[in-house]
């Protein structure tokens, strides 16, 4: 039978263990890497490996698609050639091969990658949810201490983290999904540069004025066009993404506050009915929702602007930037039509992969907001891991009761 002091010691050790696990995630990179360094690392790294392999296969499939697409266009161009016309059979075989590659990439590699990445998302979220729940619902009553006012080491007042339920549910779900998607995008860019870029160099041709580059002239022009076009537009997307980040943070806070107010209303329904306070509560709810509506209106404006920017960017990239560099050696008869189309399709595939950050910039902005809300909660949990010391920061917290 354990005595009171022994039980107190066990409770303190358990509280410190769970609080330390979460408080170690108080920075962005520690939060991101915690799952891969935990006891669940075999599952995490196995799923990550599957995702990377399927991303590499998808990049290789883009090369196959570009080569076959160039071959198909070339056969269509020579279908009525007087000397060596393309036969209908070979044309249909090439078209069927192109369709098979597209099906293999989209329904095979991409679908399988989505399954493994969503599984990784599910496992990671479940692990983080369990860790935060263990830390908040420990034997030290952390959930209670988190909601109290206190001071930090300098004596300045700190408030309790708002909307803890939203941080544990929505923020963790959004952060883990956004981080997995961001990692896949970075991997896709790197692997595409290796596979697609290598094939682009292989199909390169000479360009007048760039004779010192030899057969790598058109590849140099293509890489130069991509190196200018994509970063400049990524910079513009990042500026719009900063606006998204501020509005997303405001929207999350407004939505969570409104939901919390509704939950509180249901819990104190008897008191409101007894006091006939429905009119006051309606006014308060209307004010809360007004914050949501105003932020939503701003988000609609910036979303519409970003959509127009993205559509123009996609058109110019696919139809101008991808085809322009190879036009010079093609016009000079340094490369044939098949090589020209293949190079343009390869450039288009590379632009699409490198433009991943532009396509998901709003999601990246939301990822940063979600991560900050989680790390702030982890910091707060670490601050209250020792309740006696935490409450002592705000003044005297020990009282003695003396009976006369």
C-beta of residue 391 within 8 angstroms of C-beta of residue 148:
yes
Domain presence at residue 401: no
Domain presence at residue 364: yes
> Which pLDDT score is estimated for 153?
47
Domain presence at residue 398: no
The structural domain count of the chain equals: 1
- The size of the chain, in residues, is 404
> Which pLDDT score is estimated for 245?
76
Domain presence at residue 402: no
Domain presence at residue 397: no
Range of the domain at 138: 4-392
CATH of the domain at 263: 1.20.1560.10
Domain presence at residue 196: yes
C-beta of residue 186 within 8 angstroms of C-beta of residue 268:
no
> Which pLDDT score is estimated for 17?
60
What string of H, E and C letters represents the secondary structure of the chain? CCCHHHHHHHHHHHHHHHHHHHHCCCCHHHHHHCHHHCCCHHHHHHHHHHHHHHHHHHHHHHHHHHHHHHHHHHHHHCCCCCCCCCCHHHHHHHHHHHHHHHHHHHHHHHHHHHHHHHHHHHHHHHHHHHHHHHHHCCCCCHHHHCCCCEECCCCCEECCCCCHHHHHHHHHHHHHHHHHHHHHHHHHHHHHHHHHHHHHHHCCCCCCCCHHHHHHHHHHHHHHHHHHHHHHHHHHHHHHHHHHHHHHHHHHHHHHHHHHHHHHHHHCHHHHHHHCCHHHHHHHHHHHHHHHHHHHHHHHHHHHHHHHHHHHHHHHHHHHHCCHHHHHHHHCCCCCHHHHHHHHHHHHHHHHHHCHHHHCHHHHHHHHHHHHHHHHHHHHHHHCCCHHHHHHCCCCCCCCCCCC
**One digit per residue, pLDDT tens: the chain, 404 residues?**
455 566 555 555 555 566 677 778 888 888 899 999 988 999 999 999 999 999 999 999 989 998 999 889 888 888 877 777 878 888 899 999 999 999 999 999 999 999 999 999 999 999 999 888 888 887 777 777 777 655 554 555 566 677 777 788 888 888 998 899 888 888 888 888 888 888 888 888 788 777 788 788 888 888 898 889 988 888 888 888 778 878 887 887 888 788 888 887 777 887 878 878 788 888 888 888 888 898 899 889 988 988 898 899 989 988 888 888 888 888 888 888 888 888 888 888 888 888 877 777 777 777 888 888 888 888 888 777 777 766 666 655 555 556 65
What span, in angstroms and rounded, lies between the C-alpha atoms of 323 and 321?
Answer: 6
- Residue 157 φ/ψ, nearest 5 degrees: -75, 140
| Inter-axis angle of helices 88-103 and 41-77, nearest 10 | 160
CA-based nearest residue to 182, from 55, 23, 301, 25: 55
199-239 residue pLDDT tens: 888 888 788 777 788 788 888 888 898 889 988 888 888 88
> Which pLDDT score is estimated for 394?
61
What span, in angstroms and rounded, lies between the C-alpha atoms of 164 and 160?
Answer: 9
Q: How crowded is residue 189: how many other Cβ atoms within 10 Å of its Cβ?
A: 19
Domain presence at residue 359: yes
Domain presence at residue 404: no
Q: What predicted TM-score, i.e. pTM, was given to this entire model?
A: 0.74
């Amino acid at each position: 039978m354990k005595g009171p002091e022994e039980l107190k010691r066990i409770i303190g050790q358990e509280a410190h263990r769970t609080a330390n696990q979460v408080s170690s995630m108080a920075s962005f990179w520690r939060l991101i890497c915690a799952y891969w360094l935990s006891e669940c690392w075999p599952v995490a790294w196995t799923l990550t490996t599957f995702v990377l392999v399927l991303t590499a296969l998808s990049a290789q499939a883009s090369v196959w698609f570009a080569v076959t697409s160039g071959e198909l266009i070339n056969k269509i161009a020579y279908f009525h050639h007087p000397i060596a016309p393309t036969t209908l059979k070979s044309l249909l075989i090439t078209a069927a091969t192109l369709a098979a590659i597209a099906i293999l990439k989209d329904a095979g590699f991409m679908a399988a990658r989505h399954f493994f990445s969503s599984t990784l998302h599910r496992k990671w979220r479940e692990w983080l949810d369990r860790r935060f729940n263990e830390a908040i619902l420990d034997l030290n009553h952390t959930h209670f201490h988190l909601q109290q006012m206190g001071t930090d080491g300098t004596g300045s007042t700190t408030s309790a983290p708002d909307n803890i339920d939203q941080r544990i549910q929505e923020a963790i779900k959004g952060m883990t999904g956004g981080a997995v998607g961001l990692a896949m995008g970075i991997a896709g860019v790197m692997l595409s540069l290796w596979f697609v870029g290598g094939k682009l160099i292989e199909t390169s041709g000479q360009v007048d004025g760039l004779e010192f580059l030899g057969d790598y002239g058109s590849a140099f022009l293509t890489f130069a066009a991509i190196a200018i076009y994509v970063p400049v537009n990524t910079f513009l997307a990042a500026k719009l993404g900063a606006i998204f980040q501020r509005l997303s943070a405001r929207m999350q806070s407004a939505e969570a506050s409104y939901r919390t107010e509704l939950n509180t209303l249901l819990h104190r329904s008897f008191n409101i009915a007894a006091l006939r306070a429905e009119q006051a509560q309606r006014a308060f709810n209307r004010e809360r929702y007004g914050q949501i509506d105003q932020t939503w209106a701003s988000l609609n404006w910036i979303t519409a602007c970003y959509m127009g920017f993205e559509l123009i960017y996609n058109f110019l990239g696919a139809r101008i930037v991808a085809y322009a560099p190879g036009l010079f050696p093609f016009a000079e008869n340094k490369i044939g039509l098949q090589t020209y189309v293949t190079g343009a399709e390869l450039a288009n595939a590379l632009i699409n992969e490198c433009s991943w950050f532009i396509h998901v910039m709003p999601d990246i902005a939301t990822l940063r907001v979600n991560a900050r809300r989680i790390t702030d909660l982890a910091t707060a949990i670490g601050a209250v891991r020792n309740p006696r010391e935490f409450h002592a920061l705000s003044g005297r917290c020990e009282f003695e009761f003396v009976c006369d």
